[in-house]
Structure 1
Amino acid sequence: MATSLHDRALRCLATREHSRAELARKLGTLGNEDDVKAELDRLTELGLLSDARFADAFVRAKAARFGAARLRLELARRGVAAEQIGEAIADNCGDSELERARDIHRRKFAAAPGDAREWARQARFLQGRGFSTEIIRRVLKENPGDEPA
């Protein structure tokens, strides 16, 4: 039983980084809770399983498409501790939140909102991507070409 548990864990980790909670869920059907916990502890000791490394990889992969709030939510859903989430976002979001929001908005919409209905539609899009109300207001009130240098 322990060998198949270990093999499955290694196969999962070979495809991508996993959080401890994700891997525990995937291995839960192969063994009892104590066996799974022991295997996760072993993988952590060997340096093969790390929530911090998972959070870094996740943020690097998703930062160009999502705001900090969405990144925090997704990492929390995957069982990553709040302090590791904060460190991963601080370390891997090179551009400011405003710059990332501007970039995402430019890629999605050809023009600034022309009326209240379009403004609301664009604001909902950015909000769904995890940007704060303040950032959304700043992005949508700017006219193309008048960004600060």
Structure 2
Amino acid sequence: MSVEDVDEQAQDKPKASKALGFQPSLKGRALRLLSQREHSRQELEQKLKPYEEIPGELAQALDFLQAKDFINDQRVVESVVNRRASKMGAARIQQELRSKGLDDHVMAETLNGLRATETERARDVWRKKFGQPPQDAKERAQQMRYLLSRGFASDTVRRIISQPTEHSD
């Protein structure tokens, strides 16, 4: 094989890899996911595990991204709260955060803040959906189930349904 043949083969490799469906690195895939929204480390592991070719490669890539602060649990908490707080109660948000593999100590302060505003947020959700007190027991049960399914505390739901026009608690 001559030098020219080797040069030709080297030039063909990038084209060949694109033709075969070039796959980005695990780090590249993780960065693409992180550019769309905040992800916890556990979420990234679940999504990227099928693409790991060498054992330990994924953990190494995620360690690098975490060291560079691309993966940050506090930002994940803030992102979820910003998206969900206007529609969901603290229990539902806590459930979502746990499903993302976040520790209780990371979300404790934020959840305490959510619980402090839960009555006001529940009243807003109730007002948007129903707007008027229940007329009978069936409507009352429907309104209560709706708010409970959104993760609002049962005592808060009872307070909202029994006194829907009260503005502060």
TM-score, normalising length: structure 2? 0.80
Mapped to 2, the partners of 1:109 and 1:77 lie a distance apart of 30
Mapped to 2, the partners of 1:131 and 1:94 lie a distance apart of 9
Q: Does structure 2 conserve the Cα–Cα contact (< 8 Å) formed by 1:56 and 1:89?
A: no
For structure 2, list consecutive stretches of 5 or more residues without a partner in the other structure: 1-23
RCO greater where, 1 or 2, for CA within 8 Å and sep 6 or more? Answer: 1
Q: RMSD across aligned C-alpha pairs, in angstroms?
A: 2.0
Give the fraction of aligned pairs with identical amino acids, expressed as a percent.
37
For structure 1, list consecutive stretches of 5 or more residues without a partner in the other structure: none
Stretches of 4+ aligned residues off by more than 2 angstroms: 87-91, 146-149
1:39 to 61, 73, 76: 61
Determine helix, strand or coil for the equivalent of 1:23.
helix
- 1:18 equivalent in alignment to 2:34: no
- 1:63 equivalent in alignment to 2:67: no
Mapped to 2, the partners of 1:33 and 1:95 lie a distance apart of 45
Determine helix, strand or coil for the equivalent of 1:138.
helix
- 1:103 equivalent in alignment to 2:124: yes
The total of aligned residue pairs comes to 146
Higher gyration radius (CA): 2
- In the alignment, which residue of structure 2 is the partner of 1:123? 144
Q: Does structure 1 conserve the Cα–Cα contact (< 8 Å) formed by 2:90 and 2:115?
A: no
Q: Over residues 7-55 of structure 1, what are the superposed CA-to-partner deviations in whole Å (9 max), with x where a residue is unaligned?
A: 1011111111101111111110111451111111111100100112111
Mapped to 1, the partners of 2:167 and 2:87 lie a distance apart of 20
